Structure 1
């Protein structure tokens, strides 16, 4: 299992954008809302699960997209299912660690 990730710094915190490998460049829609899971936002590099887990554990702000990615974040106790939103069958979640 692999994931696309992009890391950056935001207000002295590590921000991680991460999505399931098969979702890159997909467009999801719900009513008037349209979201492109773009390479420019998520696709800096492709990583294996172990590196994705390390990045999640060590990031303060995480934008998570995809069933596998959301599941991994819950299993790592980084996130809760309570905050998950689903658009066109694709789960989205944003985590802010305090």
Structure 2
């Protein structure tokens, strides 16, 4: 399993943008909402599941998109299934850990 990731560190916060690698470049829409799963936002590099777990566990703000990504996060106890939303069948979740 591969994940596209981008890590941004600002002050004492590590923000992780992570998605299923096959979603990079896709745009999904619902009514007036449009989400561009761009390479510049989500895909500085591609990591395996082991590194994705480490990044998820060590980030304070996480923007995640895709079934595999969210399944992994929920399996680690990060986030809640109640918070998962979908656009065009693509799940996304934002988590703040402080």
TM category (shorter chain) comes to over 0.9
Structure 1 residue ranges, 4+ long, deviating more than 6 angstroms after superposition: none
* Cα drift, residue 11 of structure 1: 3.7
User: Which is worse superposed, 64-73 or 9-18?
Assistant: 9-18
Pairwise CA RMSD: 0.7
TM-score scaled to structure 2, two decimals? 0.97
Q: Please, which runs of 5 or more residues in structure 2 have no aligned partner? A: none
1:96 paired residue number: 96
* Whole-angstrom distance in 2 between the partners of 1:10 and 1:80: 25
Matched, 1:8 2:8: yes
Q: Which runs of 5+ in 1 are unaligned?
A: none
Task: State the distance in 2 between where 1:4 and 1:93 align.
Answer: 15
With normalisation by structure 1, the TM-score equals 0.97
1:9-35 Cα distance to aligned partner (Å, 9 max, x none): 134111000000110000101112111
